[in-house]
């Protein structure tokens, strides 16, 4: 992580603070995504080695921002009071 992003990250005390800092800094956002992706890949690899009743676990890709936005567009047709900003 770059020194600028590291400084921003150190100022954040909660997940909400981290989200706000990441929204303000595209560099921090991309570096956090890269870091999280590496951890997710490691956990997926380990999880997929596990067996339960002789069947391997399977991991699926998480939803991306575009698919989440599309889902909320569909949901807004049903319930216009629900806002994506209030759910994350």
Q: Which residues of the chain have pLDDT under 50?
A: none
Output the pLDDT for position 39. Answer: 92
Output the pLDDT for position 52. Answer: 93
User: How many other CB atoms sit within 10 Å of the CB of residue 32?
Assistant: 19
Residue 55: helix, strand or coil by DSSP? strand
Q: Tell how many helices (H) and how many strands (E) occur in the chain.
A: 4, 2
Q: Exposure of 58 by Cβ count < 10 A (0-12 exposed, 13-18 middle, 19+ buried)? A: exposed
Output the pLDDT for position 49. Answer: 93
| Domain ranges for the chain | 3-86
Tokens representing 26 are: 């595209």
pTM over the 0.85 mark? no
Q: Work out the end-to-end distance of the chain between its first and last CA atoms, rounded to an integer number of angstroms.
A: 24
Q: Where are the beta strands (DSSP E) in the chain?
A: 51-52, 55-56
Output the pLDDT for position 58. Answer: 92
């Amino acid at each position: 992580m770059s020194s600028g992003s590291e400084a921003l990250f150190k100022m954040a005390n909660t997940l909400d603070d981290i989200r706000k800092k990441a929204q303000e800094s595209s560099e921090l956002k991309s570096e956090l995504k890269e870091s999280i992706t590496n951890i997710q890949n490691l956990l997926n690899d380990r999880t997929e080695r596990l067996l339960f009743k002789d069947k391997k676990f399977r991991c699926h890709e998480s939803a991306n921002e575009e698919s989440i936005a599309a889902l909320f567009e569909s949901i807004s047709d049903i319930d216009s009071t629900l806002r994506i900003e209030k759910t994350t």
